[in-house]
Amino acid sequence: MRFRRLNVEGVVEFCPEIHQDQRGSFVSPFTAESLAAYAGGEAFAAAQLSYSTSRRGTVRGVHFTRCPPGMAKYVCCLAGGIQDFVVDLRKGSPTFGRWDTTRLDGATMRALYIPAGVGHAFAVLRDDTVMSYMMSGPYRPALELALSPLDPDIALPLPDDPDLVLSERDRAAPTLKELDARGLLPHYAAARRGDGAR
């Protein structure tokens, strides 16, 4: 398993080896050993596994969870392709307000570890894209928050498509400045306590 650290503190991209023969292929995009070795020794106990399917032009996010309790995620594109975005929303983080992006697709099976307090979004590049999410806590709607993926101050390089498909929640989500003014941004220390096991 190869890895690469993104420009948001704590976010790690994992590049698994794909074994192929005449039958097809076999890949392990997640191993606890690799995560512990390359993500700063963070423990990660999966509490929920979820999948989403999306059509081309869909944008999901930028989503994050209140800290406490916080929630870390491990995401992988199983089929199709996305442009993935992570945004550091943790006040006091050395990379607060910074974002980074990477391409995830079913051909490479690259995956991302996203620590608690880091916002996550993606733009779907192909129809019938399937995303897998392992989460360190159960989904609780009352604890879930969103940042506008269209926030001009963050200026995520979303596809230049006038027909982007967003949920009503994501389209109406507040900007980073609005979240900050409402006291809804996670603090770095609390977010770090929210990583890993529940």
- In tens digits, what is the pLDDT along the chain, a chain of 198 residues? 999 999 999 999 999 999 999 999 999 999 989 988 887 656 678 899 999 999 999 999 999 999 989 999 999 999 999 999 999 999 999 999 999 999 999 999 999 999 999 999 999 999 999 999 999 999 899 999 999 999 999 999 999 888 899 999 999 999 999 999 999 999 999 998 866 533
39 close to 32: Cβ distance less than 8 angstroms? no
Token pair listed for 116: 């608690």
Q: Which of 19, 51, 63, 187 is catalytic?
A: 63
Q: Which of 19, 51, 113, 133 is catalytic?
A: 133
Q: What CATH fold (topology level) applies to the domain 2-193? A: Jelly Rolls (2.60.120)
pTM tops 0.85, yes or no: yes
Domain chopping of the chain, boundaries: 2-193
Q: Give the residue among 164, 182, 166, 163 at the shortest CA–CA distance from 174.
A: 182
Q: Which residues contact 34 (CB under 8 A, 6 or more apart)?
A: 1, 3, 14
Active-site residue flag, 187: no
CA angle (161, 146, 125) in 5-degree steps: 30
70 close to 190: Cβ distance less than 8 angstroms? yes
The single residue listed with the structure tokens 């390089």 is: 157
